[in-house]
Amino acid sequence: GVTFTNIVGANGAVTFHGTVNRASDVMMRLANDERVEAVKFTSPIRMQQGRDTFSIEMVISSQIIQSDQSLDEEDVVVAQYFEGINR
């Protein structure tokens, strides 16, 4: 599964840092998800202790996050989304 080391939200985007067996699999899953408007790596993938260390920025679709919600609520949506990836 994915292990997150940091999640930061700013300017309508959420950037998360973590480790996983294959960061490209996480990127592909996000890129193919209709709830995600945009996604990109924000730094090169590095191998550390046999796992990929990554930083990915994503923008959640405006249909999912309403304009009146705060960034803290966006963080909750992101956390719930990634709970599904970890299963």
pLDDT of residue 78: 61
**What mean pLDDT is reported for the chain?**
81
Contact 81, 53 (CB under 8 A): no
Check whether 54 has a pLDDT greater than 60.
yes
Single-letter code of the amino acid located at 18 = G
Check whether 73 has a pLDDT greater than 60.
no
List alpha helices for the chain, DSSP H.
23-31, 71-86
Check whether 20 has a pLDDT greater than 70.
yes
DSSP state of 65: S
pLDDT of residue 45: 97
Check whether 84 has a pLDDT greater than 90.
no
Check whether 70 has a pLDDT greater than 80.
no
